[in-house]
């Protein structure tokens, strides 16, 4: 792989996930959400052994907007002493037509780290929302602001070098979430290959915005990604 094939991008990602309120392994009276199965239709993302269960996608609900700069600076400071790898991005989650500001946390090695990581963010000046009286078990629309490290396969086709089994295809049009859901429904109706999960997003590049689709499949490869791209472009008018 040539270094020229490795790209770093800033962008957004929009996706729907089934979320539940965490009751254990968190600081008392704080609001934390989890996506136990972040890719519908795919189980055991890390391991088929329950003893190796890890927190996949955890969302710290905070009391106000914290920018990606603030979250990134805090993460870098915490990484200097925190005993486990982790990653954190800024975003929002909308549930029941109500939008919350969040810090999305990934790559923790065990649930027992969550409480300690919350305490670290508090030490960095972050404040968490209190846990609501009614527990949540509902689909939420999540918007994440994040950085990407990509391997360019060809123009408009990329594999993720950080998140395993993720690929991206850029598209010529901007879609609202409901329009994207309909577009994906049509693609999957005409798709005979392995099941995949899709999310909507964009990259910032060369002072412009590149709209893209994130594809997840545990066996993703170039052939699959190009075939999925072909199906999407057949539906894009």
pLDDT tens per residue, range 120-159: 999 999 999 999 989 999 999 999 999 999 999 999 999 9
- Confidence check: pLDDT of 41 > 70: no
Rounded Cα distance between 79 and 119, Å, is 13
- Confidence check: pLDDT of 64 > 90: yes
Higher pLDDT, 18 or 3: 18
pLDDT at 74: 98
**Residue 97: which of 138, 62, 65, 59 has the closest Cα?**
138
Residue 39 pLDDT grade (very low, low, confident, very high; cuts 50, 70, 90): low
Mean pLDDT of 180-199: 95
Rounded Cα distance between 196 and 79, Å, is 33
- Confidence check: pLDDT of 101 > 60: yes
**Taking all residues of the chain, what is their mean pLDDT, rounded to a whole number?**
91
- Tokens 């810090």, located at residue: 103
Residue 185 pLDDT grade (very low, low, confident, very high; cuts 50, 70, 90): very high
């Amino acid at each position: 792989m040539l270094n020229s094939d490795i790209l770093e991008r800033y962008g957004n990602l929009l996706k729907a996930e089934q979320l539940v309120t965490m009751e254990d392994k968190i600081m008392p009276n704080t609001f934390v959400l989890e996506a136990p199965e972040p890719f519908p239709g795919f189980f055991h993302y890390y391991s088929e052994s329950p003893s190796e269960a890890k927190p996949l996608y955890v969302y710290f609900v905070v009391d106000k907007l914290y920018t990606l700069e603030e979250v990134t600076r805090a993460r870098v400071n915490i990484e200097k002493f925190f005993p486990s790898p982790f990653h954190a991005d800024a975003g929002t989650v909308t549930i029941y037509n109500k939008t919350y500001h969040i810090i999305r946390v990934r790559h923790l090695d065990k649930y027992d780290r969550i409480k300690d990581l919350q305490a670290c963010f508090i030490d960095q000046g972050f404040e968490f929302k209190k846990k609501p009286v009614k527990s949540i078990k509902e689909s939420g629309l999540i918007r994440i602001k994040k950085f990407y490290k990509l391997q360019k396969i060809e123009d408009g086709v990329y594999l993720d070098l950080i998140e395993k089994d993720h690929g991206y295809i850029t598209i010529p049009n901007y879609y609202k979430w409901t329009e994207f859901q309909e577009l994906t429904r049509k693609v999957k109706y005409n798709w005979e290959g392995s099941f995949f999960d899709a999310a909507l997003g964009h990259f910032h590049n060369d002072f412009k915005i590149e709209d893209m689709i994130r594809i997840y499949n545990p066996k993703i490869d170039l052939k699959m990604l190009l075939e999925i791209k072909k199906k999407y472009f057949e539906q894009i008018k």
